[in-house]
Structure 1
């Protein structure tokens, strides 16, 4: 996930006021109190995740639902309504191409030579032949995307995930992945500050804020997950379990059967 948390939320609220779009009518999503408790399912694998801050995490999960319902999704719907699909895909391509820098740096830190070379080839190919990432000729040339982040890098080098943690806006995480997110954000900010492509425009802050808002909208646009639409009575626990398993596998670990 690309990361500029607080700026994204502020920029999205600004975007909401500009679009004036509302959520689709009839959206009555709400968490339904389960008639059972997780204690009844302690022998099930989805309960095997360290979650000492469950009260806080459940509150944050609910906060993200309301943030989604009243801010993010209305803005995304407005964006999709006024922007042609062709343009949406080009915007997504540009941001996905920029995230290859994060993929490359983490592949290098993990000493993955082949993966690093592939990611570098993707970035160069899509930045040139793909017109800054608007198109993806690299995939057609057999250069598959390899998503990496510093949370995975820490896991690759043996750092345990630590307790489960739900973050505002970003959603499911862990202590390890939260630290990784902070590092990736710092590296991205450092690179952007060093390059500062809009320094000579006289409107660097306004342009950067607009791009950050568009990036946040595109990020949510690309994700199909919607809170409390799974139909599963214990959605919080299932999301927690699936996130934990996915991250352990991606970090090169194999959760016990």
Structure 2
């Protein structure tokens, strides 16, 4: 029964995402500003009303902040980056940062005691870091070493930690109490590893170089995401985004729990 429920959730999310993507791609009903707020009472019988959101007032304000930050600061920077940077170079930059993210994927596979996935992720990182010229290219995927996306939020879910209340973070967007804690742990591990390695230690402009690389990383991350606030044409976008995020993470946690059960 649980497997059927998970499959139904996955199908529903896929349909919703396809609808939102089609609306965004066609440009239909695209809003330049925030549409009027709708009451949850209008959605009383809809599945997205069941997500635990005790801080909805705060989350709505933060969602609005993220919209304005995205529209007037983040996306203009991304468009400028895309305008001046050839597509070939954009792909190389994305591959480089995606390769660095394998460190997070690897550590969380280890935390989940997934030996096979840990070995595969380590193989991806070593292959792309060497044959792939420092991660600029992705020969590992062609060799059958597919990326295993992991984070500490999934690790907590793997070990049975509940997602907790829904939470919208500044700039980062939709999250939960569990995933926010996971984000902090992942950031701490990444910072610790970088501090240990610190390839620019002793450089004259160490701070400027580090800040520039972090800024480029943020711009590239947004560049790789197709989501745009309030471009879905859906009048209840806040609830829809909340539902999709929650259900996606629940499905991923459920899959992780199933993998754990199979290992026992």
TM-score for the superposition, normalised by structure 1: 0.86
Q: Is 1:148 aligned with 2:140?
A: no
Mapping of 1:3-82 within 5 angstroms?
29-34=32-37, 36-82=38-84
Q: Is 1:165 aligned with 2:167?
A: yes
Gap regions ≥5 residues in structure 2 = 1-29, 257-264
Q: Partners of 1:28 and 1:53 in 2: how far apart?
A: 26
Distance apart, 1:222 and its partner CA: 0.5
Number of equivalent positions: 227
* Distance change >3 Å, CA 220–CA 103, structure 1 → 2: same
Distance apart, 1:32 and its partner CA: 1.2
Q: Partners of 1:138 and 1:62 in 2: how far apart?
A: 40
Distance apart, 1:43 and its partner CA: 2.0
Gap regions ≥5 residues in structure 1 = 1-26
Q: What does the per-residue CA deviation read over 1:128-182, in whole Å, with 9 as the maximum and x for residues that have no partner?
A: 0111111100000000000000000000000000000000010000000000000
- Aligned equivalent of 2:118: 116
Q: Is 1:189 aligned with 2:195?
A: no
Mapping of 1:211-250 within 5 angstroms?
211-250=213-252
* Distance change >3 Å, CA 226–CA 138, structure 1 → 2: same
Aligned residues of 2:169 and 2:175 also touching (Cα < 8 A): yes
Distance apart, 1:247 and its partner CA: 0.6
Q: Partners of 1:200 and 1:253 in 2: how far apart?
A: 45
Which structure shows the higher helix fraction? 2
Q: Partners of 1:161 and 1:253 in 2: how far apart?
A: 15
TM-score for the superposition, normalised by structure 2: 0.84
Q: What does the per-residue CA deviation read over 1:29-85, in whole Å, with 9 as the maximum and x for residues that have no partner?
A: 211114x52113222111110000000000000000000011000000000000000
Q: Secondary structure at the match of 1:101?
A: helix
Q: What does the per-residue CA deviation read over 1:70-104, in whole Å, with 9 as the maximum and x for residues that have no partner?
A: 10000000000000000000000000000000000
Distance apart, 1:253 and its partner CA: 5.4
Aligned residues of 2:154 and 2:252 also touching (Cα < 8 A): yes
Q: Partners of 2:42 and 2:73 in 1: how far apart?
A: 36
Q: Secondary structure at the match of 2:35?
A: coil
Q: Secondary structure at the match of 2:226?
A: coil
Q: CA RMSD in A?
A: 1.3
Once superposed, which parts of structure 1, at least 4 consecutive aligned residues long, lie more than 6 Å away? none
